[in-house]
Amino acid sequence: MASTREWFETVEEARRRARRHLPRSVYLSLVAGAEKGITLRDNVAAFGELRFTPPHIAGLPATRQLATSVLGQDIALPVIASPTGVQAVHPDGEAGVARGAAEAGTAIGLSSFASMPVEDVAPANPKLFFQLYWSGTKDAMLQRIDRARQAGAKALIVTLDWSFSNGRDWGSPAIPEKMDLRTMVRFAPEGLARPGYVRQWLRAGGLPDLTVPNMAAPGEAAPTFFGVYGEWMQTPPPSWADLAWLREQWDGPFMVKGVMRTDEARRCVDIGATAISVSNHGGNNLDGTPASIRALPAVADAVGAQLEVLLDGGVRRGSDVVKALALGARAVMIGRAYLWGLAANGSAGVKNVFDVLRGGIDSTLLALGRPSVHDLSPEDVIAPADFARGLSK
């Protein structure tokens, strides 16, 4: 269906609308990517290296089955929203993402660095998975996950692929610590260039809130993003024993996000994880590591029968989802795609992104002659000989 004011037909069109609508620094902080952006670009380019086997023309399935389950939740299509911090791109924020995903019949990951409290987001989508970083004391982490559990989170995601890389060759956008009069004056030129964005926030009753309420200690005000970032940087990284401890604290489905190696995927099985996501944090971790889709086949071979293998990074169309499933993923998570949808049209834009992906998955299944997402196999795609870039462990 051709794009209209209310509907975009591709994720790329959502990105263009987001770029036109958002102040420059907000748009750049979504696109981001560490250092030179090698991994950021490879995440997308690697999907382009994969080809499908020639389409069938007869005997095709009249209907296709897209439904599956992830972390104990039934979902209408094999795509969920990956956790992303501080969604100041639209006043609907994380609650809008939750609603858009719920209307599309799927689940969300809610970041511990989100701008809305888990208690306000969970009612919009009961299929909510809370995401935690290894930050602060064990007591503080326990308190955060306990709060998420009480708010109704169905699973815990621990994200481990962050090594505080700093410096982007294209220049990191200046993100203020909080919105006060001084900040507003400083950012006025950007606001003047994007009056629609400013109007939208004023109509919603304020300006973007850059605090992270899910990181607040009991009874304390929400800290700022940069306040908690400092705490996280100073926290010693976890050992496998620490991760086994964390897993024991959560009585329910548990995902480790950021796995790129088969040996560590096996360690995730050992600690009793329910799922992993093969991920390089959307190209925001160590620049120069390969696209996550290149690591997927070896990881899925190693552990796919023992836990749920998801993938995130670079998914921009339904056919990308099908490629990931063919190479062993149970489902994928999307990041920037739904953030662009949110920026373009709030909660409806998030649903629009899932609908675009649903349509793309469905037509790819039809062409491949596969009646269900569960029927896909590596035989459906053609990968160049060096696709895995030597990744086998």
Q: Which residue, 157 or 326, is less far from ligand FMN as judged by CB?
A: 157
CB of 13 to ligand FMN, least distance (A): 16
Distance (Å, rounded) from C-alpha 179 to C-alpha 207? Answer: 7
Determine, following the binding rule CB under 6 A, whether residue 32 of this chain makes contact with ligand FMN.
Answer: yes
In the DSSP assignment, the letter for residue 157 is: E
Determine, following the binding rule CB under 6 A, whether residue 82 of this chain makes contact with ligand FMN.
Answer: yes
Determine, following the binding rule CB under 6 A, whether residue 135 of this chain makes contact with ligand FMN.
Answer: no
Distance (Å, rounded) from C-alpha 378 to C-alpha 325? Answer: 9
CB of 352 to ligand FMN, least distance (A): 16
Determine, following the binding rule CB under 6 A, whether residue 131 of this chain makes contact with ligand FMN.
Answer: yes
CB of 109 to ligand FMN, least distance (A): 7
Closest CA to 382 of 363, 366, 370, 368: 368
Distance (Å, rounded) from C-alpha 128 to C-alpha 149? Answer: 10
Determine, following the binding rule CB under 6 A, whether residue 113 of this chain makes contact with ligand FMN.
Answer: yes
CB of 70 to ligand FMN, least distance (A): 14
Determine, following the binding rule CB under 6 A, whether residue 83 of this chain makes contact with ligand FMN.
Answer: yes
> Are 100 and 341 within 8 A, CB to CB?
yes
Alpha helices in the chain (DSSP H): 11-21, 24-31, 38-49, 93-103, 118-121, 138-151, 181-186, 188-193, 195-203, 225-234, 240-249, 262-270, 292-303, 318-326, 336-368
Span from 275-283, 323-331, 356-364, 380-388 in contact with ligand FMN (CB under 6 A) = 275-283
Determine, following the binding rule CB under 6 A, whether residue 154 of this chain makes contact with ligand FMN.
Answer: no
Question: In 3-state terms, what secondary structure has residue 273?
Answer: coil
In the DSSP assignment, the letter for residue 84 is: -
Distance (Å, rounded) from C-alpha 160 to C-alpha 162? Answer: 6
**Which member of 39, 71, 75, 85 binds ligand FMN (CB under 6 A)?**
85
Q: Which residue, 313 or 328, is less far from ligand FMN as judged by CB?
A: 313
3-state secondary structure 225-265: HHHHHHHHHHCCCCCHHHHHHHHHHCCCCEEEEEECCHHHH
Residues numbered 309-338 forming contacts with ligand FMN, rule: CB under 6 A:
312-315, 334-337
Total residues at the site for ligand FMN (CB under 6 A)? 23
Distance (Å, rounded) from C-alpha 256 to C-alpha 309? Answer: 10
Give the x/- contact pattern for ligand FMN in 199-238, rule: CB under 6 A. ----------------------------------------
Give the nearest residue (CB) to ligand FMN. Answer: 335
**Which member of 39, 68, 214, 279 binds ligand FMN (CB under 6 A)?**
279
Span from 66-74, 198-206, 247-255, 277-285 in contact with ligand FMN (CB under 6 A) = 277-285
CA triple 157-340-112, angle to 5 deg: 25
- State yes or no: is 21 an active-site residue: no
Question: In 3-state terms, what secondary structure has residue 298?
Answer: helix
**Which member of 106, 159, 285, 345 binds ligand FMN (CB under 6 A)?**
159
**Which member of 78, 100, 253, 282 binds ligand FMN (CB under 6 A)?**
282
Q: Which residue, 43 or 364, is less far from ligand FMN as judged by CB?
A: 43
| AA letter at 355 | D
Catalytic residue annotation: 281
The contact set with ligand FMN (CB under 6 A) reads 30, 32, 43, 82-85, 111, 113, 131, 159, 257, 279, 281-282, 312-315, 334-337
